[in-house]
């Protein structure tokens, strides 16, 4: 079954067309990574699926339009007032208020335990009683992810979930998401190519239009179409590979793979 079905999607911001005739199918159990240049429409696509912006075309979630009850959405930035006197655990518990509750509704012990377990999963359980004003950017990002997970979605939409987070914490988050993917479908906007190698099952490359959708393998042609110019990828000591292994070009004394120039560095591990 297709969790998300997008047909002829067009989005405008005033006179600027952000997305043009996008067609995309996302199957149940997928972990889709959305890649592309800044301004290429990645966040716009996520917002359209979440129903937070106007669009033309058709978007169906589990076969129905505007079916948001099974959807969890973590935006790139939150409008939550960081000065508001609320602590980390209280923000987490607010996830249970997604459905209408009566005036005297109280959280259960099981809810508290589940929230603490989720905080432990992201490694921030020690911050439970700390106010959100005391959190770093990365800690606040993890908190937003915890709250989104606690809504128990069948479809999880994430817009740059590892923004403002150090590489080690990013790796941890990708491991957590890989585990969550066993019970939910995930669509994630990211600039982090290590996510492509470590957890996503397929990628969609956007630059106003859909350039590529398929296995998480990049090549020179896809990158050129996506960014509009030839691209070099240089990694420094990172174990993941997002491009095929290169071959040595003895005639020119350089390294190449499908025409992709490769400037060699001592710790280069991607090509």
C-alpha 162/C-alpha 158 separation (Å) is 10
Closest CA to 45 of 211, 239, 228: 211
Closest CA to 42 of 75, 87, 89: 75
pTM of the model: 0.83
Strand locations in the chain (E): 2-13, 16-27, 31-35, 56-61, 64-65, 71-74, 155-159, 185-189, 202-207, 209-214, 247-249, 254-257, 260-262
- Label residue 205 by pLDDT band (50, 70, 90): very high
Q: Give yes or no for residue 140 having a pLDDT over 80.
A: yes
> Any idea which residue has 């280069």 for tokens?
268
pLDDT of the residue at 235: 56
Name the average pLDDT for the chain.
Answer: 84
C-alpha 107/C-alpha 183 separation (Å) is 25
Q: Which residues pair with 202 in a beta bridge?
A: 32
What DSSP character marks residue 127?
G
C-alpha 213/C-alpha 203 separation (Å) is 6
The crossing angle, in degrees rounded to 10, of helices 137-149 and 167-180 is 0
- CATH numbers and ranges of domains, the chain: 2-231 (3.40.50.300), 232-271 (no CATH)
pLDDT of the residue at 134: 95
Residue 10, token pair as written in the block: 């067009």
Q: Collapsing DSSP states into helix, strand and coil, what is residue 95?
A: helix
pLDDT of the residue at 257: 38
pLDDT of the residue at 211: 94
Closest CA to 6 of 178, 149, 157, 219: 157
**Secondary structure string (H, E, C) spanning 214-267:** ECCCCCHHHHHHHHCCCCCCCCCCCCCCCCCCCEEECCCCEEEECCEEECCCCC
pLDDT of the residue at 270: 31
Compute the average pLDDT of residues 6-29.
96
> Any idea which residue has 């000065």 for tokens?
83
pLDDT of the residue at 207: 93
The crossing angle, in degrees rounded to 10, of helices 109-121 and 137-149 is 130
Q: Give yes or no for residue 64 having a pLDDT over 80.
A: yes
Using one digit for the tens of pLDDT, what is the confidence trace for 74-111?
998 766 778 889 999 999 999 988 765 666 678 899 99
> Any idea which residue has 């479908």 for tokens?
185
Using one digit for the tens of pLDDT, what is the confidence trace for 209-240?
999 999 988 888 888 888 887 776 665 544 44
**Residue 180 backbone dihedrals phi, psi, to 5 degrees:** -65, -30
């Amino acid at each position: 079954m297709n969790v998300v079905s997008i047909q002829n999607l067009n989005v405008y911001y005033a006179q600027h067309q952000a997305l043009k005739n996008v067609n995309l199918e996302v199957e149940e159990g997928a972990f889709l990574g959305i890649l592309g240049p800044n301004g290429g429409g990645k966040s716009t696509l996520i917002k359209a699926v979440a129903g937070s912006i106007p669009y033309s075309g058709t978007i169906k979630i589990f076969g129905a339009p505007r079916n948001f009850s099974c959807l969890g959405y973590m935006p790139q930035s939150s409008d939550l007032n960081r000065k508001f006197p609320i602590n980390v655990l209280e923000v987490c518990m607010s996830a249970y208020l997604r459905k209408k509750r009566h005036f005297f509704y109280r959280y259960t012990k099981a809810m508290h335990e589940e929230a603490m377990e989720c905080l432990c999963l992201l490694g921030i359980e020690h911050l439970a009683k700390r106010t959100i004003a005391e959190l770093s950017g990365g800690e606040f990002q993890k908190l937003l992810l915890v709250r989104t997970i606690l809504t128990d979605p069948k479809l999880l939409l994430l817009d740059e979930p590892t923004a403002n987070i150090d590489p080690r914490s990013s790796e941890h988050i990708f491991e957590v998401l890989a585990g969550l993917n066993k019970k939910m479908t995930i669509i994630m906007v990211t600039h982090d190519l290590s996510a492509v190698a470590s957890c996503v099952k397929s990628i969609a490359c956007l630059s106003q239009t859909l350039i590529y959708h398929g296995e998480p393998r990049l090549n020179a042609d896809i990158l050129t179409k996506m960014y509009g110019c030839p691209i070099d990828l240089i990694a420094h000591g990172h174990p993941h590979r997002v491009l095929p292994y290169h071959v040595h070009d003895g005639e020119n004394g350089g390294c190449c793979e499908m025409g992709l120039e490769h400037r060699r560095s001592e710790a280069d591990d991607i090509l």
